[in-house]
């Protein structure tokens, strides 16, 4: 085939053609890890699409052939009324563009296929929920707006209403969703390719020096259902704690839900370790997978996974992605474990990481009580009493530091933001209003705390209520919100950093008194001089 | 509108406080395109009518009372329906929502940039990076101009946003870097006010 490659261990081509996500899935296949069957429409097809304004000739036929292959592999019928096959269609460029490109889940769940899925599973609610998820992600993608607000309904009647509402919305926007699985797929691939060229994506590439002509691949995979039953769910996992670098798996899991819920932060997640108690077989398989990907990439890794009826599937893998003190610890320990050499450890820690090693962090111990977790949006640690409104923040700040806790912020909160020592919001990401203002004011901030509910004079998180005035401490790097005032450190990577720098001095041969950055930089310069180019990432 | 002291400035100030939150006299004057003495005397009248309140807690700012918020909501809804502007404002709001995430991306990129894979505070020591971000701001601003024009054609009071956004961008472009994301006259702050105004005007809860 010209435009399509199977996702299999035999594929030899690189990330430029397959995209980084599909390239990672090929690596997972080679490691013998469970990956849902699928194929990838290459970045070359995307480039042809962008050039000509339509999908390249022959792709329709290739898609039909590839799908017939998936049907044969799974024993299911795409869009069929009996044992229906549904697929995910995900973007995946050779460079990371988080949140910029489209993803469609449960594609192929036509009216007939949804009835078939309901009959097969005996669970009409599950089938309708899956169809609603398909329509919401598809409508968002083809209309270029977020229609996810219509999702997450309970009860079959309300699900049916929501399904009708999403279809109506797509019709109103002049982009009706076809009730034919094959046409849905062709439309979805075109939509994923078009998302490469939205103004927002173009802006992102301009800012990050990414060429506009790379294009994205479109990955089509058999759907696995994290919303299937009580032994199903979805999550993200780091092979090592990205906050500290400690060699223990870290992440979030969401029981009974599908993939986008974790990444989008729309639903409250549970700490990854709860998987061990609730689904020990899934946990064992995941731990094994994390070990194998680390050994393959010789680095800490991030994976996205789903489990359906007790069976684990890996949906994405990415090496690296730890920074600051965590990067120091990971590199040092990988060298201790002989996965990498000491020289390579030195090359993996840039002087920029050292600058972040000294950022104040909470030094959490088992005694500390983490009440909520979000996304760190402005580094630093702040302690104070919870204020839930701007007025309360201004009033209470006369008596000592306060932490302003809001669902999200708007111009109405400016006085509160100014009065507070730190900021926590339930919604929003690192580019939200609260995050932008917090950085402008240089105040530690944690945003996107899922499950945080802000009431009139109290907040609740993870099922616990905290009254206004409760003392909390927030860490704007790791995104933790802890009760009371845990110890704060500016030397989180302490012992590891001292060892790494001792290796640096051995390499540079200079043991004189200098600052940390100079010691590391000298070693890296010596190594780069010694080594042939291109040996290191 | 009944019950409001009457120059037309009063309703304007109430709405500025509704969209921009607590504000001092100088900021309200800029937001409304008014002189400060007019703003101040009008605020005193509004306070007597129980619609605004003064906070002498060091911030020295004015804000809406519950009655002021209700009076504003009533007036804004009446204005929207009597002028028949709802369809045009709704359509413009949808286009605003397409631009909004990109604007927030740009603000974040102005404050943070990846260095060796680490998100690092932008210290503005690299003029070429800043110029690139500013260039994208200007590009987005051109597209925002279309939305602003639609809005002020539907309801002329939206015209002030175009003026204020341009001023913020011009000042940032001529070296006053804080006019992109910092402070209450920054592009980000004016944009957030416009966002709040659209929500308030269309009666959409946050």
Task: Kindly state the percentage of chain B with pLDDT values over 90.
Answer: 75
Which structure tokens are listed for B124? 């503005």
A residues 50-109 near B, CB within 8 Å?
A: none
Residue A532 has pLDDT above 60, yes or no: no
Q: Are residues A337 and A391 in the same domain?
A: no
What pLDDT does residue A263 have?
54
CATH of the domain at B48: 1.10.10.10
Last residue in a domain, options A264, A291, A319:
A319
Residue B6 has pLDDT above 70, yes or no: no
Of A532, A207, A450, the closest CA to residue B140 belongs to A207
Q: How confident is residue A324, by pLDDT bands cut at 50, 70 and 90? A: confident
Q: Are residues A270 and A417 in the same domain?
A: no
Q: Which residue has the tokens 């000294």?
A: A358
Check if B190 contacts A (Cβ < 8 Å): no
Q: Which of residues B22 and B141 earns the better pLDDT score?
A: B141
Residue A151 has pLDDT above 60, yes or no: no
Nearest to A207 among B101, B116, B133 (CB): B133
What pLDDT does residue B4 have?
41
Decide if A352 and B120 are in contact by the 8 Å CB cutoff: yes
Question: How many whole angstroms separate alpha carbon B171 and alpha carbon A468?
Answer: 40
CATH of the domain at A249: 3.30.470.20
Q: Which of B65, B116, B180, B183 to mutate to test the interface with A (most CBs of A within 10 A)?
A: B116
Q: Are residues B156 and B172 in the same domain?
A: yes
Of A259, A337, A495, A443, the closest CA to residue B182 belongs to A443
Question: How many whole angstroms separate alpha carbon A342 and alpha carbon A349?
Answer: 11
Q: How confident is residue A463, by pLDDT bands cut at 50, 70 and 90? A: confident
> In a 10 Å sphere around its CB, with 0-12 CB exposed, 13-18 middle and 19+ buried, how is residue A45 labelled?
buried
What pLDDT does residue A536 have?
46
Whether A258 maps to a domain, the answer reads yes
Which structure tokens are listed for A358? 């000294």
What pLDDT does residue A450 have?
83
Residue B7 has pLDDT above 90, yes or no: no
Q: Are residues B41 and B143 in the same domain?
A: no
Q: Are residues A375 and A272 in the same domain?
A: no
Mean pLDDT, range A38-46, rounded to an integer: 98
Q: How many domains does chain B contain in total?
A: 2
Q: Are residues A393 and A337 in the same domain?
A: no
Q: Are residues B69 and B89 in the same domain?
A: no
Q: Are residues B93 and B185 in the same domain?
A: yes
Residue A444 has pLDDT above 60, yes or no: yes
Of A390, A407, A401, the closest CA to residue B23 belongs to A390
Question: How many whole angstroms separate alpha carbon B151 and alpha carbon B80?
Answer: 12
What pLDDT does residue B173 have?
93
* pTM of the complete model beyond 0.90: no
Q: A304 is in which domain, residue-wise?
A: 233-319
Whether B187 maps to a domain, the answer reads yes
Whether A284 maps to a domain, the answer reads yes
SS3 B11: helix
Of A528, A496, A502, A500, the closest CA to residue A245 belongs to A496
B residues 27-86 near A, CB within 8 Å?
A: 55, 57, 59, 61
Q: Are residues B91 and B72 in the same domain?
A: no
Q: How confident is residue A259, by pLDDT bands cut at 50, 70 and 90? A: low
Per the CB < 8 A criterion, the answer to whether A41 and A189 are in contact is: yes
Question: How many whole angstroms separate alpha carbon B89 and alpha carbon B198?
Answer: 8
Q: Are residues A465 and A414 in the same domain?
A: yes
Residue B5 has pLDDT above 50, yes or no: no
Print the SS3 string covering A195-211.
Answer: HCCCHHHHHHHHHCCCC
Last residue in a domain, options B60, B79, B98:
B79
Q: Measured in whole angstroms, how far is the alpha carbon of residue B94 from the centre of its chain? A: 17
The CA radius of gyration of chain B, in Å to the nearest whole number, is 18
Per the CB < 8 A criterion, the answer to whether B67 and B50 are in contact is: yes
Q: Are residues B98 and B188 in the same domain?
A: yes
Residue A460 has pLDDT above 60, yes or no: yes
Whether A151 maps to a domain, the answer reads yes
Q: Are residues B48 and B89 in the same domain?
A: no
User: Mean pLDDT score of chain A, rounded to an integer?
Assistant: 90
Q: How confident is residue A153, by pLDDT bands cut at 50, 70 and 90? A: low
What pLDDT does residue A366 have?
80
Last residue in a domain, options B79, B106, B132:
B79
Question: How many whole angstroms separate alpha carbon A456 and alpha carbon B142?
Answer: 41
Per the CB < 8 A criterion, the answer to whether B85 and B154 are in contact is: yes
Whether A113 maps to a domain, the answer reads yes
Q: Which of B54, B66, B119 to mutate to test the interface with A (most CBs of A within 10 A)?
A: B119
Q: Are residues A256 and A141 in the same domain?
A: no
Q: Are residues A315 and A334 in the same domain?
A: no
Decide if B21 and A414 are in contact by the 8 Å CB cutoff: yes
Q: How many domains does chain A contain in total?
A: 4
What is the tens place of the pLDDT at every residue in B140-171?
999 999 999 999 999 999 999 999 999 999 99
Q: How confident is residue A537, by pLDDT bands cut at 50, 70 and 90? A: very low
Whether B1 maps to a domain, the answer reads no
What is the tens place of the pLDDT at every residue in A384-404?
999 999 889 988 998 999 999
Q: Are residues A290 and A411 in the same domain?
A: no
Mean pLDDT, range A116-136, rounded to an integer: 93
Q: How confident is residue A148, by pLDDT bands cut at 50, 70 and 90? A: low
CATH of the domain at A467: 3.50.30.10
In this prediction, the answer to ipTM > 0.90 reads: no
What is the tens place of the pLDDT at every residue in A420-438?
999 999 988 888 899 999 9
Whether A181 maps to a domain, the answer reads yes
Q: Are residues A39 and A16 in the same domain?
A: yes
Whether B158 maps to a domain, the answer reads yes
What is the tens place of the pLDDT at every residue in A499-515?
999 999 999 999 999 99
Whether A535 maps to a domain, the answer reads no
What is the tens place of the pLDDT at every residue in A216-257?
999 999 999 998 899 999 998 999 988 788 999 988 888 988
Per the CB < 8 A criterion, the answer to whether B21 and B41 are in contact is: no
**Looking at A307-311, A312-316, B3-7, B180-184, which range is the least confident one?**
B3-7
Decide if B121 and A206 are in contact by the 8 Å CB cutoff: no
Mean pLDDT, range A18-23, rounded to an integer: 96
What pLDDT does residue A267 have?
62
Whether B191 maps to a domain, the answer reads yes
What pLDDT does residue A354 have?
86
Q: How confident is residue A451, by pLDDT bands cut at 50, 70 and 90? A: confident
Q: Are residues A186 and A258 in the same domain?
A: no
Q: Are residues B172 and B152 in the same domain?
A: yes
Q: Are residues A302 and A384 in the same domain?
A: no
> Could you write out the DSSP letters of every residue in B135-161?
HHHHHHHHHHHHHHHHHHHH-GGGHHH
Nearest to A411 among B55, B183, B189 (CB): B189
Whether B106 maps to a domain, the answer reads yes
Last residue in a domain, options B79, B103, B138:
B79
What pLDDT does residue A268 have?
67
Q: Are residues A268 and A192 in the same domain?
A: no
Nearest to A145 among B98, B109, B139 (CB): B98
Q: Where are the beta strands (DSSP E) in A226-288?
A: 233-238, 250-255, 270-271
Whether A537 maps to a domain, the answer reads no
Q: B54 is in which domain, residue-wise?
A: 9-79
Last residue in a domain, options A168, A201, A222:
A222
Mean pLDDT, range A168-195, rounded to an integer: 93
Last residue in a domain, options A193, A222, A251:
A222
Whether B3 maps to a domain, the answer reads no
Decide if B206 and A408 are in contact by the 8 Å CB cutoff: yes
Q: Where are the beta strands (DSSP E) in A421-511?
A: 422-425, 445-447, 453-454, 458-461, 464-467, 471-475, 480-483, 488-489
Burial letters for A202-229: b for 16+ Cβ neighbours within 10 Å, e otherwise? bbbbbbeebeeebbbbbbbbbbbbbbbe
Q: How confident is residue A264, by pLDDT bands cut at 50, 70 and 90? A: low
Q: Are residues B16 and B54 in the same domain?
A: yes
What pLDDT does residue A100 have?
79
**Looking at A59-73, A185-199, A454-468, which range is the least confident one?**
A454-468
Which strand (E) or helix (H) includes residue B35? none
Q: How confident is residue A531, by pLDDT bands cut at 50, 70 and 90? A: low
Q: Report CA dihedral (A499, A500, A501, A503) to the nearest 10 degrees.
A: 90
Whether B165 maps to a domain, the answer reads yes
Q: Percentage helix, strand, coil, to 5, in chain B?
A: 70, 10, 25
Per the CB < 8 A criterion, the answer to whether A406 and A454 are in contact is: yes
Q: Which residue has the tokens 């102005």?
A: B110
């Amino acid at each position: 085939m010209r435009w399509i490659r199977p996702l299999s261990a035999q594929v030899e081509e690189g990330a430029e053609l397959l995209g980084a996500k599909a390239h990672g899935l090929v690596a997972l296949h080679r490691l013998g890890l469970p990956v849902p069957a699928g194929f990838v429409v290459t970045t070359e097809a995307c480039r042809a699409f962008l050039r000509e304004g339509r999908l390249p000739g022959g792709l329709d036929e290739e898609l039909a052939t590839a799908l017939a292959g998936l049907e044969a592999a799974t024993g299911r019928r795409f869009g069929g009324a009996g044992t229906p096959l549904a697929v995910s269609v995900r973007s995946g460029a050779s460079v990371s563009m988080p949140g910029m490109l489209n993803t469609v889940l449960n594609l192929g769940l036509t009216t007939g296929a949804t009835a078939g899925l309901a009959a097969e599973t005996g669970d009409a609610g599950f089938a309708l929920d899956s169809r609603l998820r398909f329509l919401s992600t598809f409508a968002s993608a083809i209309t270029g707006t977020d229609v996810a607000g219509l999702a997450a309904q309970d009860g079959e009647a309300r699900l049916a209403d929501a399904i009708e509402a999403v279809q109506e919305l797509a019709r109103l926007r002049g982009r009706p969703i076809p009730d034919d699985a094959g046409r849905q797929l062709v439309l979805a691939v075109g939509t994923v390719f078009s998302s490469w060229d939205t103004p927002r994506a173009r802006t992102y590439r301009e800012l990050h020096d990414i060429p506009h002509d790379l294009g994205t691949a479109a990955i089509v995979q058999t759907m696995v259902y994290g919303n299937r039953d009580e032994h199903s769910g979805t999550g993200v996992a780091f092979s090592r704690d990205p906050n500290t670098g400690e060699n223990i798996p870290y992440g979030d899991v969401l029981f009974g839900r599908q993939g986008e819920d974790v990444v989008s932060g729309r639903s409250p997640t549970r700490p990854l370790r709860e998987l061990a108690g609730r689904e020990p077989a899934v946990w064992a398989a995941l731990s094994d997978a994390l070990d194998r990907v680390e050994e393959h990439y010789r680095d800490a890794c991030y994976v996205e996974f789903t489990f359906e009826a007790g069976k684990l599937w890996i949906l994405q893998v990415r090496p690296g992605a730890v920074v600051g003190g965590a990067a120091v610890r990971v590199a040092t320990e990988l060298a201790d474990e002989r996965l990498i050499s000491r020289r390579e450890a030195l090359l993996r820690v840039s002087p920029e990481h050292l600058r972040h090693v000294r950022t104040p962090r909470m030094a959490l111990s088992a005694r500390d009580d983490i009440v909520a977790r979000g996304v760190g949006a402005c580094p630093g640690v702040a302690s104070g009493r919870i204020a839930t409104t701007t007025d309360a923040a201004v009033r209470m700040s006369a008596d000592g530091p306060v932490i302003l806790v809001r669902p999200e912020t708007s111009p109405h909160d400016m006085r509160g933001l100014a009065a507070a020592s730190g900021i926590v919001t339930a919604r929003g990401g690192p580019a939200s209003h609260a995050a932008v203002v917090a950085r402008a004011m240089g105040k530690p901030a944690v945003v996107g705390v899922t499950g945080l509910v802000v009431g009139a004079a109290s907040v609740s998180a993870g099922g616990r209520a905290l009254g206004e005035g409760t003392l909390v401490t927030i860490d704007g790097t790791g995104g933790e919100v802890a009760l009371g005032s845990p110890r704060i450190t500016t030397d989180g990577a302490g012992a590891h950093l001292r060892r790494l720098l001792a290796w640096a001095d051995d390499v540079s041969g200079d043991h004189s008194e200098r600052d940390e950055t100079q010691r590391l930089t000298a070693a890296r310069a010596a190594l780069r001089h010694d080594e042939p180019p291109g040996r290191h990432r | 509108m009944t019950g409001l002291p009457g120059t037309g400035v009063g309703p304007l100030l109430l709405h500025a406080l509704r969209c921009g939150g607590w504000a001092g006299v100088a900021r309200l004057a800029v937001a409304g395109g008014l002189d400060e003495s007019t703003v101040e005397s009008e605020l005193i009248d509004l306070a007597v009518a129980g619609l605004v309140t003064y906070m002498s807690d060091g911030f020295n700012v004015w804000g809406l009372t519950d009655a002021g918020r209700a009076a504003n909501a009533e007036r804004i809804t009446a204005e929207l329906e009597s002028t028949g502007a709802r369809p045009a404002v709704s359509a413009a709001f949808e286009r605003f929502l397409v631009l909004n995430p990109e604007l927030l991306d740009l603000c974040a990129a102005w404050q943070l940039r990846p260095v060796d894979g680490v998100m690092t505070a932008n210290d503005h020591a690299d003029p070429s990076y800043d110029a690139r971000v500013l260039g994208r701001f200007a590009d987005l601003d051109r597209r925002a101009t279309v939305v602003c024009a639609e809005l002020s054609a539907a309801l002329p009071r939206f015209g002030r946003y175009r003026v204020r956004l341009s001023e913020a961008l011009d000042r940032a472009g001529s070296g006053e870097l804080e006019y992109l994301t910092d402070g209450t006259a920054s592009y980000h702050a004016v944009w957030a006010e416009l966002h709040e105004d659209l929500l308030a005007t269309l009666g959409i809860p946050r």
